[in-house]
Amino acid sequence: MTSLSSRERVLRFFAKKPIDTMPCFSGQGMVTVPAIEALGIRFPAIHLTAENMAGSAIQSMEMFGFDGAVVPYDMCTIPEAFGLKISIYEDSEDILYPTIPSKWPRPEEVQVPADYLQRARMPVVDEAIRILKERVGSTHAIGTWLLGPFTLAGQLVELDVLMKMSLKERDKVEALLDKLTELIIDLGRHYRELGADYVNLREMGTGADIISPRLFKMIVQPRLRRIFEAWDSPKILHICGSTDMIVELMNGCAAEAISVDHKNTLSETRSKIGDEVILLGDYDGFTLPGQSTPDEIQAAIKKCIDSGVDAVWPGCDIWPDIRSENLKMINETIKALGTSPTPAVGRL
Residue 305 maps to which CATH number? 3.20.20.210
Answer whether residue 150 shows pLDDT above 60: yes
Q: Which pLDDT value is given to residue 144?
A: 98
66 is a domain residue? yes
Three-class SS state of 99:
strand
The verdict on residue 184 lying in a domain is yes
> Is residue 227 one of the residues assigned to a domain?
yes
* pLDDT for the residue 3: 86
Asked if residue 103 has pLDDT above 80, the reply is yes
Q: Which residues pair with 147 in a beta bridge?
A: 202
Q: Report the pLDDT averaged over residues 32-39.
A: 98
Let me know if 61 is exposed, middle or buried by CB neighbors in 10 A (0-12, 13-18, 19+): buried
Q: How far apart are CA 180 and CA 226, in angstroms?
A: 12
The type of residue at 57 is A
pLDDT of 2 strictly over 90: no
Give the total number of structural domains in the chain.
Answer: 1
At 1, is the pLDDT very low, low, confident or very high (cuts 50, 70, 90)? low
- What pLDDT is recorded for position 67? 98
The residue that leads in pLDDT, 3 or 132, is: 132
Domain of 321, in residue numbers: 6-337
325 contacts: CB under 8 Å, gap ≥ 6: none
Give me the mean pLDDT over the 180-194 stretch.
98
- Split at pLDDT 50, 70, 90, the class of 232 is very high
| Average pLDDT, rounded, for the chain | 96
**pLDDT for 325:** 98
**Mean pLDDT across 293-303:** 97
Within-domain flag for 342? no
Is the pTM higher than 0.75? The answer reads yes
344 occurs within a structural domain: no
Q: What percent of the chain has pLDDT over 70?
A: 100
pLDDT tens digit sequence for 219-231: 999 999 999 999 9
